[in-house]
Amino acid sequence: MEFDSHIIWNIILTLVILPLGWWIRTSHDEIRRQDILLNKTREEIARDYVSKRELEQDLTRILNAIERLDEKLDRIQEAAVKEFRL
């Protein structure tokens, strides 16, 4: 009788522990997979997108170029006004 109760208890434990172990393993594998994907995403974002500092530097260069063009156009306009006033 005792032998049968041990077998039944082992079967019950196996039926409870086995699915629990499988669930833990698949959850761990999925978390590891998502961690790898997250790291790849971070690398791609850093590679594909501009940082705020780089954007600010580029915009400063563009605005400086526009300002120089504006000053040049003002000088051309003043020279044209002086030439046609005579």
pLDDT tens for each residue of 62-75: 999 999 999 999 99
Tens-digit pLDDT profile for residues 2-57: 678 888 888 888 898 999 999 999 999 999 999 999 999 888 887 888 889 999 99
Phi-psi region of 46 (alpha: psi -120 to 50; beta: other; left: phi over 0): alpha
- Rounded CA separation 46/56 (Å): 17
- Rounded CA separation 58/52 (Å): 10
Backbone angles phi, psi at 68, to 5 degrees: -65, -40
Structure token digits, residue 21: 């172990």
Phi-psi region of 37 (alpha: psi -120 to 50; beta: other; left: phi over 0): alpha
43: enclosing H helix or E strand: helix 2-48
pLDDT tops 80 at residue 85? no
